[in-house]
Structure 1
Amino acid sequence: MPKTVLQYQCYATILNEYLHLEEFSTLSELTIKGKRLALTQLINYLGDNRIYTFSDCLQKHVSNHIDQISYLSNQTISGRLFIFRHFFNFLHQKGITTYSGNELFPVIFTNKRERILSFYSIEEIKQVISAVNRNTKSGKRDLAIILLASELGMRSSDICHLKLTDLYWERGTIEFIQYKTKAYLQLPLPESVRYVLIDYLKNARPTCTCKNVFVGIKNGFAPLSNTCIHIFVSHYFKKGNIDISERKHGPHALRHSLASNLMKNNTPMYVIRDVLGHSNLNTTRIYLNIDLDTLKQIALEVPYETVW
């Protein structure tokens, strides 16, 4: 997918002022990128329609843009609406628009539990792992990445940013600050993951000055990107002949699968929370949506009643 860039520089100053608000200082870079993407697409739409300042932006223009992005998922659109509401509140407070974000979007309907997350069985995950050629340098790297996601539940962003100094061999842990939440996380380093990492570091990782565990070859030994990791993982789903027709098949699917399989083994929710690095148990509860078999088993049967 091509990168979305700001086409109308007349909006650059106000956009940058907004994205550098003090209240955003603790947000992750990923969250800020999401805000920038949503607002850049809105701005490009306005510019394409010869609207070159937000003071000339009417509520119908925002509504028309939302209609234009209706192909996005309901959850993504809801997220965009929250961004737009906050942004237009900002513009209204500065006296740029005659209406506020609260007037524009008084109610935003969202249901974060409407989406069934993609997950795979233990047998399917084994097929993915078996599809990796461990005799090649790229295979050694990819296997380590897959195991970090499938056995430890690491996000792709954390795998990308994982440093050599985050590996504590002597005490058998991986410890790092999560890229998304900025919270500290300590994970165990089981032997299955330890030996694969050692094999990659000793026999496949290029000699370079980069401090990240995973580096590329064609990019001048720079850290791998989220996109690269997604491409690698997706390749092995397909190579392992896994049915991915109705499921996502990137590193996050491996993370979701870990949560699902832990629940099937009756692992307490607080343990799953700690494994996934969630600070709030309510965040972890979303993973209840993916364990359909268990939900069916515990569902109460509606008693039959005769109406006289």
Structure 2
Amino acid sequence: MFDYLALFEEYLTVELGLAQNTRLAYLRDLRLLQKTFNFKSSEELLGVNRQQLLAYLVQLRQAGRSASTVARKLASIKAFYRFLTAERYIRRNPAEVLEAANRGLHLPKVLSVAEVDTLLDTPNLGTPDGYRDKTMLEVLYATGMRVSELVNVPLKNVDLKMEYVIVMGKGSKERMLPLGRTALRYLEHYISVVRPQLLHGKPDSSKALFVTGWGGPMTRERFYEIIVAYGQSAGLSKRVTPHMLRHSFATHLLNNGTDLRVVQELLGHADISTTQIYTHLDIERLREVYDKTHPRA
């Protein structure tokens, strides 16, 4: 049985020429990781996966460790697994895409599925404004688009037959987003019945998908006010924002097994490390999977 931490220390000394204090700090961090997972030997560290590492980093933050402390421990972990991969002790580096955590593990706030349901059931469908708001919330949660993308969607960019909407993202990059059955159902009625009511027979000069009662395009500031008000009316303890619904969209997809690259494409992230931050949020689920699958859990 190899002592992989001893091999790593030798690598730090001989190959990288690191000072003793730096080497000791790396080893301290890795021994803490080993202790947290209740591993009896360093060999067990070879079987750790990306989700376990993310859960560990989040656990550190929840325990009150500073962002700089977590970043240093992450640096130790990444160096260790780069070494193991380079020396072919493991085939895949589980720490390879943990860059987002290095920026302080700022955890986006999300709603549970039940909270999303409560929020989306709040608008009054008996009024044109309420039906429009319901449709906007459904589309936002169905697509995960940014609020700026939502309010700027032209009516012509919605294809109900092909079940998609085209949005203009950052850097003037277009992307095509699928629409779920629920969002489609509300969009069909909104476009054919409710939107003309909101225009009050006025010329459709804005060509925007979502319009106000005055016939002009919805603004991000107004929609922000609308969603905050619905969150309060729904009795949710969190201050609900449009971006929170986008966070929830991404988190719920990943928790249900959607590939990270697919979520990256849907969100319009240029760098997958930005999307990576969502994979750590459901810690209870990660712990449940870990307890069921790890031989020494």
In structure 2, how many angstroms separate the alpha carbons of the residues matched to 1:283 and 1:260? Answer: 13
The structure, 1 or 2, with the larger RCO (C-alpha pairs under 8 Å, 6+ apart) is 2
Which 5+ residue runs of structure 1 have no aligned equivalent? 1-73, 75-109, 304-308
Match of 1:175 in 2: 166
TM-score (norm 1): 0.56
Give the Å deviation of 1:289: 3.8
Q: Is the 8 A contact 1:132 1:139 kept in 2?
A: yes
Match of 1:198 in 2: 188
Q: Is the 8 A contact 2:160 2:188 kept in 1?
A: no
Matched, 1:122 2:113: yes
2:234 to 237, 240, 263: 240
Q: Is the 8 A contact 2:128 2:194 kept in 1?
A: yes
Give 2:231's aligned amino acid. Answer: F
In structure 2, how many angstroms separate the alpha carbons of the residues matched to 1:241 and 1:293? Answer: 24
Matched, 1:137 2:131: no
Q: Is the 8 A contact 2:139 2:179 kept in 1?
A: no
Q: Is the 8 A contact 2:120 2:137 kept in 1?
A: yes
Q: Select between 256-265 and 180-189 the one with higher mean Cα deviation.
A: 180-189
Q: Is the 8 A contact 1:113 1:286 kept in 2?
A: no
Give the Å deviation of 1:155: 0.8
SS class of match (1:151):
helix
Please tell me the root mean square deviation across aligned C-alpha atoms, in Å.
2.4
In structure 2, how many angstroms separate the alpha carbons of the residues matched to 1:265 and 1:113? Answer: 26
Matched, 1:184 2:174: yes
Match of 2:213 in 1: 217
Match of 2:34 in 1: none
2:279 to 288, 291, 299: 288
Q: Is the 8 A contact 1:174 1:186 kept in 2?
A: yes
Give the Å deviation of 1:170: 2.9
Match of 1:98 in 2: none
Distance 1:299 1:181, change over 3 A: farther
Map 1:143-182 → 2, pairs under 5 A: 143-178=134-169, 180-182=170-172
Give the Å deviation of 1:253: 0.5
Match of 1:254 in 2: 245
Give the Å deviation of 1:260: 1.3
Give the Å deviation of 1:176: 2.6
Give the Å deviation of 1:149: 1.4
Give 1:185's aligned amino acid. Answer: R
2:254 to 250, 263, 269: 263
In structure 1, how many angstroms separate the alpha carbons of the residues matched to 2:104 and 2:165? Answer: 31
Match of 1:20 in 2: none
Give the Å deviation of 1:250: 0.7
In structure 2, how many angstroms separate the alpha carbons of the residues matched to 1:280 and 1:166? Answer: 26
Q: Is the 8 A contact 1:131 1:240 kept in 2?
A: yes
Match of 1:279 in 2: 270
Give the Å deviation of 1:238: 1.2
1:227 to 214, 221, 228: 221
SS class of match (1:253):
helix
Q: Is the 8 A contact 1:140 1:199 kept in 2?
A: no
TM-score (norm 2): 0.58
In structure 2, how many angstroms separate the alpha carbons of the residues matched to 1:217 and 1:226? Answer: 15
Distance 1:111 1:228, change over 3 A: farther
Q: Select between 272-281 and 156-165 the one with higher mean Cα deviation.
A: 272-281
Give the Å deviation of 1:154: 1.3
In structure 2, how many angstroms separate the alpha carbons of the residues matched to 1:111 and 1:227? Answer: 32
Give the Å deviation of 1:112: 3.2
In structure 2, how many angstroms separate the alpha carbons of the residues matched to 1:289 and 1:157? Answer: 26
In structure 2, how many angstroms separate the alpha carbons of the residues matched to 1:227 and 1:111? Answer: 32
In structure 2, how many angstroms separate the alpha carbons of the residues matched to 1:251 and 1:138? Answer: 17
In structure 1, how many angstroms separate the alpha carbons of the residues matched to 2:288 and 2:219? Answer: 41
In structure 1, how many angstroms separate the alpha carbons of the residues matched to 2:139 and 2:146? Answer: 9
Give 1:164's aligned amino acid. Answer: L
Give 1:228's aligned amino acid. Answer: R
SS class of match (1:263):
helix
Q: How many residues align?
A: 189
